[in-house]
Amino acid sequence: MADEAVRPLDTAPGTSSWRTVDIIVTAVLGVAFGVLFWLWSLLYTAATPVFVGFPPSQAAMYGVWLLAAVVAPLIVRKPGAALFAELIGATVEALLGSHFGTTVILYGLLQGAAAELGFAAFRYRRSGWLQALLAAALAGLAAALLDFHFYYPDWTAGWKTGYLALVVSSTVVIAGIGGMALTRALRASGALSSFAAGRTRV
């Protein structure tokens, strides 16, 4: 049973069954990113005075909170990986005492679901640059729309447009490009040998 749990993944695209190792690794990624999310929220709050002249510009820092939603499906390559990892990350952030409160769990749920669409659009048969960037952009879009509802409902249309553009740009650069770079680095280290991502170039 243990050997079966850690055997290399069948590289056939679109495989939807989850192995034990897939669940464990996705959960571990979620927890690790959750700690990062919590630390980043502290830095984000501390940096707020820097952006007081034009508050929407702080959205340039946003992409870190979407990393789990891109990295997990690039590694595990299973339907639901983005949602699973991002939701766990958000839950860990909330449990650690995020000043954003339990609202971050809703963010994790919707951001993860939005990122799933970037891979679902290709029926989970491809995991490359296009899928990573699309997933990041869609997750960023979901995050910005939630922010407009919870935090910035009274902003002008101009500020909202600028904020939306910056959030999506940040998530594409940090979560999309950065997530791909992190996945490649892990592949090069041999840490992904039990996954298709560890044996194919992305």
Query: CA angle, 154 as apex, 173 and 169 as ends, to 5°?
Result: 5
pLDDT in tens, the chain (202 residues): 344 333 444 444 456 789 999 999 999 999 999 999 999 999 999 999 999 999 999 999 999 999 999 999 999 999 999 999 999 999 999 999 998 999 999 999 999 999 999 999 999 988 899 999 999 999 999 999 999 999 999 999 999 999 999 999 999 999 999 999 999 998 888 777 766 665 555 5
Cα–Cα distance for residue pair 86/168, rounded to 1 Å: 17
Q: For the chain, how many residues are written?
A: 202
201 burial type by CB count under 10 A (0-12 exposed, 13-18 middle, 19+ buried): exposed
Q: 167: domain range?
A: 2-48+56-198
Structural domain count of the chain: 1
What is the reported pTM?
0.87
CB 174 within 8 A of CB 156: no
Query: For position 13, which CATH number holds?
Result: 1.10.1760
Cα–Cα distance for residue pair 63/100, rounded to 1 Å: 16
